[in-house]
Homo-oligomer: A and B are copies of this chain.
Amino acid sequence: MSAPPVAARERADARRNRERILCAAARLIEERGIEHVSMDDVACAAGVGKGTLYRRFGDRSALLRALIEEPERAFQESLIRGEAPLGPGAPPLQRLHAFGDALLDHYERHATFIRAADSLSGGRRYLHPVYRAYRAHVGVLLRELLGDGVRTEYLADALMAPLGAEPFLHQRTVLEMSLDEIRDGWHALVDAVCAAG
């Protein structure tokens, strides 16, 4: 009846190259570590030109994000439509704790990519849709607990601040904290903030 979604249609060669680029990037990073893979390396290994790489992904930061796009989407999906207490249904404080646990698990697997992407985005981290989604989630829950106000908004940011990839990796690798210790610390922070309100 209706026409096919022409606008969204991806050309066959484009799709093929997209796959090749993502595969090559993942393989090279696996082999050498994220710091020792240049965009030229990726383009070359994928058998495409640099122009193609940048046309598809914009910049290095976006390429790194694309590599964890799927787990990222799954995580956000489980916040919105997943089982309680992570998803809807549980009391706000419980959901907040569940969110922290889940995000820290997510970092445990992907923080290296995320930190690299963050540090390349030149101070625009807070404007990125992924960060905004997390922040919005915490904001909603915290407003339920503490009511509206500038104070609440600040505290939402303050709860998010130690949940960055950079602090996480510092705690995990330099301070040698366990995942449980980090979780525990964040729970204490959340409880303190919510008890005070």
A residues in contact (CB < 8 Å) with B:
115, 119, 122-123, 125-127, 150-151, 153-155, 157-158, 161-162, 164, 166-167, 169-171, 174-175, 177, 181-182, 184-186, 188-189, 191-193, 195-197
Q: Which residues of B contact A154 (CB under 8 A)?
A: 162, 171, 177, 181-182, 184-186, 188-189
Q: Which residues of B contact A192 (CB under 8 A)?
A: 155, 192-193, 195-197
Chain B nearest CB: distance from A131 CB in Å? Answer: 10
Asked if B151 and A184 make an inter-chain contact with CB atoms under 8 angstroms apart, the answer reads: yes
16 sample A-B contacts, Cβ–Cβ < 8 Å, listed by A number = A123-B169, A126-B167, A127-B174, A150-B177, A150-B184, A151-B184, A151-B188, A154-B181, A154-B186, A155-B192, A157-B171, A158-B162, A158-B189, A191-B196, A193-B193, A195-B195
Q: How many copies does the complex hold?
A: 2
Q: Which residues of B contact A150 (CB under 8 A)?
A: 177, 181, 184-185
Extra 10 A-B pairs, beta carbons < 8 Å, given A151-B188, A158-B162:
A119-B119, A125-B166, A126-B174, A150-B177, A150-B181, A155-B189, A157-B185, A158-B158, A161-B162, A161-B167
A186 to B184, CA, bound (A): 21
